[in-house]
Amino acid sequence: MKTHKLIFVLLVTALLAGCTVGPRYSRPAVAAAPMDAYKEADGWKTAQPSDQVVRGKWWETFGDAQLNALEEELTVSNQDLKIANARFVEARAMVHFNRASQFPTISTTPGIASLHDSANTPYLPATKNTGDFVLPFDLSYELDVWGRVRRTVSASREEAQASAGDLATVNLSLHAELAFDYFELRSADAQKQLLDDTVKAYRDALQLTMNRFEGGAAPKSDVAQAQTQLNATMVQDMDIAVQRAQFEHAIAVLIGKPPASFNLPASPLNLAPPDISVGLPSQLLERRPDIASAERRVAEANDQVGIARAAFFPTIVLSASAGLEGDSITNWFTWPSRFWAVGPAAAETLFDGGRRRATSQAARSNYDATVANYRENTLTAFQQVEDNLAALRILGQEADQQREATASAQESLQIFTDRYIGGADPYLQVLTAQTIALQNERNDVDILRRRMDASVLLIKALGGGWTAAELPKTAELR
């Protein structure tokens, strides 16, 4: 009869173990976005299916062998990337740790002792010596009646998925930062080459004024003006070296090398921004690892609400103990030496001063915060895409206008130089034309730099070819 009662209790508790308290999870709604096109894509030349499409090694779309080599070094040697990978491995380990609670804990503490009773112990027979040989096996298993253990395991899996998203975000950000710094450095090389050529041209102009002054065809002021123009340009030329050095040092750290041991030979920027397929706005949420990570943390926070709710209900633990105990080694392993005990136990907190209620409220507030963070991330993602689409579209138009302005400035400089040589104009006209031409030439280089930077930032804003399907599946996190 007692055995029947025990079986009945176990069946009831097993049935209750299917219950789960707390809210069911559903992905939070986000601000509606247009499904067909981005606002700033009007006039933007999107890549056709036959064009280069952003994929895993998105930096290869720029067609720069040196950049490709540096990006590969970053993948292997960057320390921040190694930190993010270690955090992901740690999160996966926590899944294993929490999943262990779904199984019983079995332990044993065998012991051998020689016992001697006190001769002065009351109500006992005369003193005797005995042995105590024990081989126990203890089992403890928490019946997951309210889903606390299941939700804990689920939360750890969602955190592991979020960590995978974090790893992908760090990977994308670091590769984008390297490409950004690389194009900044190459732009500095282009500016340096331009200023080097300009310094040479200004030296020739200075020599021209000196010759005319010595021949009595020009005043001393022309020489002074030409010398001032040359010196000022030489200062600009040297100043470019500061910017270049800083970008070179930043690239060295990104690829895991000390700046002192890294050197990147000069090579002026002469690439064209690639055509980039931006896809549809409705696809963006599945292409951004930071958004996927934020959404997984919303799911984790939802599980934490359920865990806090489960604390209001009793904890039911099934305990069992069995083994062999004898007073000598000769009867230790005999059938009469067996012992066993089994049965469930319930524990319930009757009063805790509001601790569980506060924990539940904190969990709900944390859930609200993660939802807001997720929605903010989605808005920021749409903004970043729109910003860089607008930048590329407008800068493309600006580049065409700037090329025309530069050609006009160079033509104007040649005209005023010829007129000065012929004595028709003062040297001030040449100085003005030189300044305008140099500024326009530098604008040419700067606009190309901004277009390349915007291309990198657009690819980053689009997720760099990543998709949410790359997150580890729940079945893989066991």
Return the H-helix or E-strand segment holding 135. Answer: strand 129-143
pLDDT at residue 45 in the model: 52
pLDDT grade for 50, boundaries at 50, 70 and 90: very low
The CA–CA distances, whole Å, from 111 to 313, 322, 323, 438 equal: 38, 14, 12, 91
124 versus 247: the higher-pLDDT residue is: 247
Measured in degrees and rounded to the nearest 5, phi and psi for residue 139 equal -125, 135
User: CB of 58 within 8 A of CB of 459?
Assistant: yes
Mean pLDDT of the chain: 88
Q: What are the tens digits of pLDDT across the range 139-175?
A: 999 998 898 999 999 999 999 999 999 999 999 999 9
- How far apart are alpha carbons 167 and 159 in whole angstroms? 12
pLDDT grade for 22, boundaries at 50, 70 and 90: confident
Instruction: Characterize 150-178 residue by residue with b for buried, 16 or more Cβ atoms within 10 angstroms of its Cβ, and e for exposed.
Output: bbbbbbbbbbbbbbbbbbbbbbbbbbbbb
pLDDT at residue 51 in the model: 40
Instruction: Characterize 243-260 residue by residue with b for buried, 16 or more Cβ atoms within 10 angstroms of its Cβ, and e for exposed.
Output: ebeebbebbbebbbeeee
Q: What is the pTM of this model?
A: 0.87
329 versus 450: the higher-pLDDT residue is: 450
- How far apart are alpha carbons 48 and 39 in whole angstroms? 19
Residue 76 has pLDDT above 90, yes or no: yes
Collapsed DSSP state (helix, strand, coil) of residue 182: helix
pLDDT grade for 36, boundaries at 50, 70 and 90: low
pLDDT grade for 44, boundaries at 50, 70 and 90: low
- How far apart are alpha carbons 90 and 86 in whole angstroms? 6
Alpha helices in 332-354 (DSSP H): none
Output the CA torsion sign for 267, 268, 270, 271: positive
What structural domains and CATH numbers belong to the chain?
31-104+146-313+355-476 (1.20.1600.10)
User: CB of 56 within 8 A of CB of 409?
Assistant: no
